[in-house]
Amino acid sequence: MPGKAQPWEPPMGKETWQRCWGEWRRLGAIDAVALYERPQPKRKGLAVLLMTGGTPVAFVKLRERSSGDLSKERAVLTALGSVHQAVVWVPGLLAAGSVDGWDYIAMTALPGRRHRPPSRPDVEAVLRAVQPALATVPRPEGMPEHWQPMHGDFTPWNLREVPGLGLALVDWEDAGWGPPEADATLYTAAEVVLGRAPQPSNLPEEAVAYWRRRVESREAGKVGKRFNADLLKVLDAARPRRTSHAAQQQRIRLLLSAFGCHPAWGSEPEVGFRALMAAAESADVWVLTIPTHAAALKQHLAGHPLQSSVHLVPVKVDVPDAYIDRIGLLGFYLAYGRWQKRASRIAIDLDSELDFDVIHHVTVSSYWSRVGVASLGKPFVWGPVGGGVEPPRTMIRDLGPRGLLGSTARVAARRGLSRLPHVREAGRNAAFIFAQNQRTAQRLEPISGRLEVLSNATSISLGEVQVDGERRRDVVIAGRLLPWKGVRLAVDVLRHVRHEDVVLRIFGDGPERRRVQRAARRWGVADRVRFERWVPRDVLLAELATAGVLLHCALHEEAGLIVAEALSLQTPVVCLAHGGPAELVRQWPDSPSAAIVPVDRDGTVRQLAAAVDGFLDRPPPVASHSVPPVEDFKERLLAAYEVAVGRPLRQPGSDRSA
C-alpha cells in the first residue's frame, strides 16, 4: 500500500471499526491489515487489505454512505465472474454489507508479489475479454445508443503484470458506458504522460472529447492536477479522427446558438435547454450561451450520460442577468445585437476548427432580430421563431395609454428592423425554419427553405408533479404584469362571471399591478382579486394542477408556456384564439380548453366569462399525471436536422426516449 506507516484513528470511530472488523473475520483468520485513506474530498473512504500471516486474503473498500454509493461497483464485480481469467485476472466479489452508515465491498486480492505495469500488453484482447461481462450492467437512461461497456479508469497503474498470474485488471469503481475506444484512448494517453509511449498521431474524436470533459471536471490533489494537465496536453495534441464505428458515423457536429439555455429557470431558457438535450442524443453539440447559463449547465451535466456530447461556449453579455428584463425593448435589442456579433465571431473560429455539419439558432429567436450564426454558410435551422403576433385592433384599448404607446412603437420597430439586410440573412440562409405560430409564419414568407409551425412551449417537461386535493373554484393567472398580458382584461372577465364567489388569483408582479388594482376597485371586484406575487415553479405547478380555470388573456403571445403547462396538467384553459395559445390548444386536443376569437371587445369579454362559467359548472377531475402534446418537440428538431444535413441521424427502430 502507498504511504509510510503512522498512527491512525478510525474516521468512523473505534466501535464502528470493531464491528466492521467482526464482519470481515468471516472471510478468514485475519491477523493484520494495511490501510490507505483516500484524500479526495468527494471520494472519502478507506482501502483495506486483509491479511493472514502476511498473505493477502481480501481487498475491502469502505465508504461512508454520504460520500458515495458502492452499489454499482458491487454489480460490476458480480458480473465479472464470467470473465475468462486466462486472458486477464479480475477480482471477484467476496462479501458486501453496511455497518453504522458505512458501506463496504470485499473482493479477492492480488497475490502478495511485486507487480508492475505491463510492457506492450494486448490491450484489445483484455478489453474484449471484459466487455461481455460489463454489458450486463444496466445502461443509464439517455445514454447514446452506440456507447459501449468500459472499465472507466483503464490505465497502466490498474492493468498490472503479476508473476505467476499474468495480466490483472483492478479498480472497477468507474466502470460503466462510454464512447467506442474510450478505454484504449485513456490507456494510450496515460502511457504518453508516464513516458512509456510516444505521442500518438491521432485518437478517436468522440473518445478524446469524452476524456477531456471527464478530466476537466474531476477534483485532484497536487500530483493529480499535474497529471491531469499533462493528460489534457496529450489529448489536445492527438489530432482527433472521426471514429469508424457505424453508429457514431451518424453523429453530426452541431453548433447551437442559445442566448437563454438554463436547466432550472423555465420559460425561454428551458426551451434552450430542452433543445440542447434533444440535439445531444444524436449530435456532438457546441452551445453558445451567456456565461451564467453555461455555469449552470456545467453543474447540471456533471456525471450526466450526455456530458461528453455537450461543449459549453460562454459568450459575454453586456447586461447582468438580473437587469435584462428591465432595460426595455431598445436596450435589450442593442445588448442582444452585440451578443450576436460576438457569437458570430466565435462561431466562425469554431467552424474553421471543427467544420460543423449544421447550425441551429433556437432561443430569443425573432423574425426581426439579428442571427449571428446565420452567416456561416452551413446548413442552418432557425427557430422556433416568434415576433409576428400583434394585438387585435378591437382590444387595444385594454393596453392603456402607456401600453398602447409601447405596443405601437414595438410593432413599428419590428416591421422596420425585419427589413434590414443583416436581419433578413437568417431567412435567406435557412434550410429549415420553425415558426412559433401561424401569425409569425406569415411574416416569414416567402423563404427558400422549409417552413413549419412548432411552438417552443411544446418543449415543456413537467415530470412527476405532486398533486394534492380536489379541483378548486378559482381562476388563475400567471406571468409578469405587463399591459399586453391582458390582466386588466381578465379582471373585466371576472366581473361578468356568474359565480360571484370565485376569486381571481394572480401569480406574478410587474408595472401593470396598480392599473389592475384600480380597475378592480372601479368594477367592484377588488375583494375577489388576490395578488399572490411570485412563487417557485414547483409551487405554481401544484397550484395550477388543481385550479378551477387558467385564464390567459394575453394580446400578443408568441407561445405561452403557462398555457402549455396547464394543458399538460389537464387544467381547464380559457384563452384568446390569437397567436401562440391557439396553436397550443391544437397540440392538446383532449385537454379541456376554450379559445375565444376576439371580435368586438365587449362580446369577447362575455364569451370568455361564459367559458369560465362552463368549466366551473362542470369541473373536470384533477389529473393524476401530465399528458404530452400531439407532436414531440425533440422529434421535430431531430427531423429538421436530418432535412438540413440531407441524411438520417438515428438508426431505424432505435429508442428515442429522453
> pLDDT at position 652, please?
45
pLDDT digits (tens, 9 = 90+) for 115-164: 899 988 999 999 998 988 888 877 765 566 678 899 999 999 999 999 98
Spatial neighbors of 527 by CB under 8 A, at least 6 apart, are none
For helices 222-236 and 205-217, what crossing angle results, to 10°?
160
* 3-class DSSP state of 388: coil
Cell triple for residue 252? 453530426
Average pLDDT over residues 559-569: 93
* pLDDT value of position 187: 95
pLDDT beyond 80 at 243: no
The DSSP element (H or E) to which 343 belongs, if any, is helix 328-354
> Residue 19 class from Cβ within 10 Å (0-12 exposed, 13-18 middle, 19+ buried)?
middle
Task: Specify the range with the lowest mean pLDDT, choosing from 12-16, 193-197, 249-253.
Answer: 249-253
Rounded to the nearest integer, the mean pLDDT of the chain is 85
Cα(23)–Cα(21) distance, integer angstroms? 5
Give the Cα separation of 525 and 501 in Å (integer): 11
Alpha helices in 194-327 (DSSP H): 205-217, 222-236, 246-249, 267-280, 291-301
Alpha helix segments (H runs only) across 418-473? 421-429, 438-444
Q: Which residue has the higher pLDDT, 17 or 39?
A: 17
**pLDDT value at position 73?**
87
Residue 586 pLDDT greater than 80, yes or no: yes
Hey, what's the cell of 485? Answer: 398580458
Is there a contact between 472 and 548 (Cβ–Cβ < 8 Å)? yes
**Confidence at residue 178, expressed as pLDDT on a 0 to 100 scale:** 87
Indicate whether 244 pLDDT > 70. Answer: no
631 SS3 class: coil
Assessment of whether the complete model's pTM goes beyond 0.75: no
Q: Angle 182-193/123-134 helices, nearest 10 degrees?
A: 140
Q: Are 270 and 564 a contacting pair, CB within 8 Å? A: no
Specify the pLDDT at position 484. Answer: 86
Question: Using one digit for the tens of pLDDT, what is the confidence trace for 305-316?
Answer: 888 889 998 998
Whole-number percent of the chain with pLDDT over 70? 88
Residues 489 and 560 sit within 8 Å (Cβ to Cβ)? no
- The one-character DSSP state at 204 is B
pLDDT digits (tens, 9 = 90+) for 80-124: 887 767 789 999 999 999 999 899 999 999 988 888 999 889 999
Task: For residues 238-252, give the mean pLDDT.
Answer: 58
CB atoms closer than 10 angstroms to residue 308:
24
Length of the chain, in residues: 658
In this structure, the strands spanning 93-99 and 102-107 are antiparallel
The pLDDT of residue 277 is 93
Pick from 2-16, 231-245, 450-464, 576-590: least confident: 231-245
Q: Answer with the residue of higher pLDDT: 41 or 349.
A: 349
Residue type, 80: L
Helix (H) or strand (E) holding 322: none
CA distances (Å), origin 470, targets 293, 505, 616: 38, 17, 13
Task: Please give the Cα distance from 472 to 548 (Å, whole number).
Answer: 5
C-alpha cell at 635: 422529434
| 474-617 CATH choice from 3.40.50.2000, 1.10.1040.10, 1.10.10.60, 3.30.70.3150 | 3.40.50.2000
Say if residue 653's pLDDT is above 50.
no
Q: Helix, strand, or coil here: 505?
A: strand
CATH number for the region 250-454 comes to: 3.40.50
Residue 490 has pLDDT above 90, yes or no: yes
Burial class (CB in 10 A: 0-12, 13-18, 19+), 552: buried
Range in 31-35, 219-223, 490-494, 628-632 with the lowest mean pLDDT: 219-223
- Residue 189's H or E segment, with its range, is helix 182-193
Percentage of the chain beyond pLDDT 90 is 39
**Contacts of 61 by beta carbon, 8 Å cutoff, 6+ apart:** 45, 46, 47, 48, 70, 73, 104, 105, 107, 173
285: left (phi over 0), alpha (psi -120 to 50) or beta: beta
The pLDDT of residue 654: 46
188 pLDDT more than 70: yes
- Residues 194-209: what's their mean pLDDT? 86
Residue 280's φ and ψ, nearest 5 degrees, are -65, -15
CATH 3.40.50.2000 boundaries in the chain: 474-617
Which residues 6+ apart lie within 8 Å of 521 measured at CB? none
Q: Please report the pLDDT score of residue 250 as a whole number.
A: 56
Q: How confident is the model at residue 168 (pLDDT cuts 50, 70, 90)?
A: very high
